[in-house]
Amino acid sequence: MNWLPPNGALHGLAIDHLLRWNLTVLFWLFVAAQALLVAALVRRWVSRGEGHAVQHRSGAAFFFADLLPLAAITALYIWMMFASHKLWAASRESVESPQAVQVEVTGEQFEWYFRYPGADGVFGATRADLINAPQGNPLGLDPADAHAADDIVSAILVLPAGRPVDVTLRSIDVIHGFAIPGMRLKQDAIPGMTGHLQFTPAVPGEYPILCTQVCGLGHARMQARLRVVAPADYERWIAARESALRAEAAR
Amino acid sequence: MSAVIPVRVRRPLLSRVFTSSHRDLAILWLLLALAAVILGTLLSLAMRIHRVWPMLPFPFYGVPTPEQYLAGVTMHGTLMIFFVLTVVPQAAFPNLVLPAQIGASRMAFPRLNAAAFWIGFASFLALIAAFFVPQGAPIGGWTAYPPFSEIAAAGPGQGAGMDLWLVSILLFCAASLAAAFNFLVTILARRAQGMTLGRMPLTVWSWLVSSALTVIAFSALLAAAFMLLADRHFGTGFFLPAGEVVNGIRQRDPAAPGSPMLWLHLFWFFGHPEVYISILPGMGLASSLIANFTRRPVPGYRFMVTATTLIGFLGLGVWGHHIFVSGMNPYAGTAFGLTTIAIAVPSSAEVLTWLAMLFRGRIRLTTPMLFTLGFISFFIAGGLTGPVLAQPALDAYLHNTFFVVAHFHLVMAMAGVFSVFAGIYYWYPLLTGRRMNEVLGNLHFWISLIAAYGTFFPMHFAGLAGEPRHYAQLSGPVESFASLIPVEKGITFSALLLAAAQLIFLFNVFRSARHGIAAGENPWRATTLEWSPNAHPIIESGPYVYGPGVASQDDFRPQWAFAENRNGSPGECSPPLKQE
């Protein structure tokens, strides 16, 4: 289990715990089943004498050899499902927190863009025909919309530790897979749809962001960085980006 | 050697190629699968080598580009899933033995059956042609998610290559549907007198279920592939949302915008039953072979039939577990998780039955039996990670990582291929009158078993480390999986060994056709009808009935009746196999 990258998310501990006991139980089931196969081989090598006529199995033998283990395995599967459903429900069926940091993540070949709503707390409108990355408008922000003026667009995702985050997920071209292994997080960004994802980064540090849905020749390069910082540092970073935006607008 | 090799009338080659004889068609399907598996394996080796030595140029080729790597992924998957793991268990094997196993002299629709092969062959040619068009083969993987597969500008290979891929899939769907209709009707309408449903071998039950699944699943794929083709060329917008911008260029807005989600659902409504289409025949074969090589009936025959049917039925309701992370309704995630766990129960029931069967009689360790044990081993190894991936909460970490690659290569590819080997070693005498060499068969088995585990088991660890599929390079601008290079190298060396071991098999296949020991009419003393010496047998009993007395003549109670000698040792049967 040390294969997993270090976990930095609030929900990640429970996920790792679930994954760990799942894999442990199933690994020993695997070992037991393979041991039975080997035993069948060894038994054949050992008993070289003429076999005796074996009675055809009675109902009771069938019960003990087949149905009892089957019932046990079924109970295990159901237990797994219950344990896991709690985590799934907590992560996907929860109502978003009013304190949540709002971030919009947009995938396009082969970049991730992160947009913060700015001081007004509202994402400005975007229009597909305004998308023009070389001219600095990769998301197609509409200058006619007042809410768009203070939107911060970043190539790095900076988030405060300990605050819930509400991610809005979009793609402007093909399906991309938004994945942060360190946050135990993955969801597809599907063009034409807006996805939502909630999580709480807990441990400050840097976490790679990957694309996990094959999206073109640059798929393996489509990576970005999540930087989880202390809340004060986050406020400072946002303020710096806002003043840079104002300075640019004044020019 | 008292056994006699039946005298074969040499027929002109052309009459064996342009034929509606199901046995000849079986050979044609096998040859098609052989071409596909060789190409698919070479592609996978090229990818494995490129991953660990990214700067290494290939002879007469150079260093592969990322798009060439992705084209390799797409073509490897398409070749292996359609032209190997569907063609052999669901086209070649039923053509080889299905009519005989139910006592029929021919298929219900021999010409439709022959047409299926030629459509399948055309499909193969269309697929291979994708390598040779400008920009090469498509790069979106075998799942071809739109809009990536919809917009030619989205990447190299997504133009003409993608069109050819779609044409190939359309043709393959047509071939599979034709073949499956023929098998269904053959099973239902052409059984010999006495061959009740309850006396059918479990292979035939598997083909009944997998053919029904084929009809349902490939219909969905046929529709989806046609819709995608229509989107690309006829201006529809089934899968195309409004407001697409690719490479900075605004794409057309369809009159009625669609959604890629429709493709995801249609594709996986096909894609998941496809897994069972390719593995159910292997499961039926495993039951048959264990019964035969332990000389014990299948315990709970009805139980196994129920499990097989239940797997087929539930298999139609689990497709959503492939798209847990697509952002679909989380309640749907829970529902598909539950159906997936449900299907694990009949699958586990079959495995437990096989394990129990192994301890009931003395196993005769012939090569087909060894490969059956290998099949079970891989089916368990890959199957056990199924319940992990069935949990949406865990899949949200593991989806599209190498953990999934390990899972389906063990449970579908390796288990599937090992059961294909079991079938070929087992039925080889039907085609040649000779047996394949057992020493080479043992060698082939043990090297393949170890190399296959060496290749696919470590992939679990790469997946747990978060390494995604479809990455042409292990190190990107931010994340580097370079620490996995030693594991990756081990996988590559194992894969090379695994491929090399198949040369032993090929050598054995071609050498034994001339020099193998004569098999006689029924070398395995099998009780099912494909080994019956007369073409119009009278069926008296179920498929897995054995008398008392292990490894003696007495235990031979075939499904067909003997004309001359009901109680004593049958004249048609070979002497019992020597225990080596």
* Banded model confidence at residue B553, pLDDT cuts 50, 70, 90: low
- Phi then psi dihedrals of residue B521, to 5 deg: -85, -25
Is the confidence at residue B573, as pLDDT, over 60?
no
Is the confidence at residue B563, as pLDDT, over 70?
no
* Banded model confidence at residue A213, pLDDT cuts 50, 70, 90: very high
CB contact under 8 A, A169 and B326: no
CB contact under 8 A, A179 and B468: yes
Which amino acid would we find at residue A238?
A: I
Higher confidence at residue B175 or residue B577?
B175
CA–CA distance, B449 with A239 (Å, rounded to integer): 60
DSSP state of A6: P
Higher confidence at residue B331 or residue B564?
B331
* Radius of gyration of chain A, Cα coordinates, nearest whole angstrom: 26
Q: Are strands A165-171 and A101-108 parallel, antiparallel or unpaired?
A: parallel
Sheet holding A165-171, edge to edge: A152-154, A111-116, A101-108, A165-171, A195-199
Is the confidence at residue A94, as pLDDT, over 90?
no
DSSP states along A31-90? HHHHHHHHHHHHHHHH--SPPPPPPPPPHHHHIIIIIHHHHHHHHHHHHHHHHHHHHHHH
User: How confident is the model over A16-35, as pLDDT tens digits?
Assistant: 999 999 999 999 999 999 99
CB contact under 8 A, A53 and B471: no
Is the confidence at residue B4, as pLDDT, over 50?
no
Contacts of B337 in chain A (CB under 8 A): 81, 84-85, 88
Looking at residue A33, what is its pLDDT? 95
Q: Is B255 exposed, middle or buried (0-12, 13-18, 19+ CB in 10 A)?
A: exposed
Beta bridge partners of B401: B468
Ranges of each domain in chain B = 20-190+201-288, 518-580
Give the closest-approach CA distance of A28 to chain B in angstroms.
10
Is the confidence at residue B552, as pLDDT, over 70?
no
Nearest to B423 by CA among B200, B93, B99: B93
- Phi then psi dihedrals of residue B152, to 5 deg: -60, -30
Angle between helix axes B22-52 and B110-129 (nearest 10 degrees) is: 20
Outline where chain A has alpha helix (H): 12-46, 59-62, 68-92, 231-250
Only one residue has tokens 């919309």, namely: A145
Q: Cis omega before residue B270 (within 30°)? A: no
User: How confident is the model over B416-445, as pLDDT tens digits?
Assistant: 999 999 999 999 999 999 999 999 999 999
Contacts of B550 in chain A (CB under 8 A): 50-53
CA–CA distance, B233 with B426 (Å, rounded to integer): 48
User: How confident is the model over B286-295, as pLDDT tens digits?
Assistant: 999 999 998 8
**What mean pLDDT is reported for chain A?**
90
- Classified as helix, coil or strand, B572 is coil
User: How confident is the model over A45-71, as pLDDT tens digits?
Assistant: 655 444 444 445 556 777 777 789 999
User: How confident is the model over B229-264, as pLDDT tens digits?
Assistant: 999 999 999 999 999 999 989 999 998 899 999 999
Outline where B130-259 has alpha helix (H): 160-189, 202-233
Closest CB from B66, B337, B385 relative to A81: B337
Contact B232, B119 (CB under 8 A): no
Between positions 13 and 72 of A, the ones with CB within 8 A of B are 15, 18-19, 22-23, 26, 29-30, 33-34, 36-37, 39-41, 43-44, 47-48, 50-54, 56-57, 62, 65-66, 69-70
Closest CB from A18, A131, A211 relative to B393: A18
CB contact under 8 A, A91 and B373: no
Interface residue of A23, A175, A198 to substitute, partner B, most B CBs within 10 Å: A175
Contacts of B376 in chain A (CB under 8 A): 37
Looking at residue A92, what is its pLDDT? 80
**Residue range B20-190+201-288, CATH number:** 1.20.210.10
User: How confident is the model over A149-197, as pLDDT tens digits?
Assistant: 999 999 999 999 999 999 999 999 999 999 999 999 999 999 999 999 9
Contacts of B579 in chain A (CB under 8 A): 48
**What mean pLDDT is reported for chain B?**
91
Cβ neighbours of residue A28 under 8 Å, at least 6 residues apart? none
Contacts of A3 in chain B (CB under 8 A): 461, 464-465
Closest CB from A26, A51, A81 relative to B384: A26
Looking at residue B567, what is its pLDDT? 43
Contacts of B338 in chain A (CB under 8 A): 81
**A82 and chain B: CB distance < 8 Å anywhere?**
no
Nearest to A73 by CA among B282, B351, B460: B351
**A2 and chain B: CB distance < 8 Å anywhere?**
no
Is the confidence at residue B576, as pLDDT, over 70?
no
User: How confident is the model over B299-346, as pLDDT tens digits?
Assistant: 889 999 999 999 999 999 999 999 999 988 989 999 999 999 999 999
- Classified as helix, coil or strand, A170 is strand
CB contact under 8 A, B361 and A74: no
- Phi then psi dihedrals of residue B417, to 5 deg: -70, -40
Looking at residue B580, what is its pLDDT? 33
Looking at residue B383, what is its pLDDT? 95
Contact A10, A87 (CB under 8 A): no
Is the confidence at residue B578, as pLDDT, over 50?
no
Contact A170, A131 (CB under 8 A): no
User: How confident is the model over B464-504, as pLDDT tens digits?
Assistant: 999 999 999 888 889 889 889 999 999 999 999 999 999 99
Nearest to B320 by CA among B387, B383, B392: B392
Cβ neighbours of residue B71 under 8 Å, at least 6 residues apart? B131, B136, B137, B138, B139, B157, B161
Angle between helix axes B202-233 and B260-294 (nearest 10 degrees) is: 160
- Classified as helix, coil or strand, A116 is strand
Contact B543, B559 (CB under 8 A): yes
User: How confident is the model over B497-547, as pLDDT tens digits?
Assistant: 999 999 999 999 999 999 999 998 899 999 999 998 877 778 888 899 887
**Percentage of residues of chain A with pLDDT beyond 90:** 77
B42-61 burial code (b ≥16 CB/10 A, e <16) = ebbbbbbbbbbeeeeeeeee
Looking at residue B197, what is its pLDDT? 94
CA torsion angle B61 B64 B69 B74 (round to 10): -20
CA–CA distance, B356 with B507 (Å, rounded to integer): 35
Contact B243, A192 (CB under 8 A): yes
Looking at residue B114, what is its pLDDT? 96
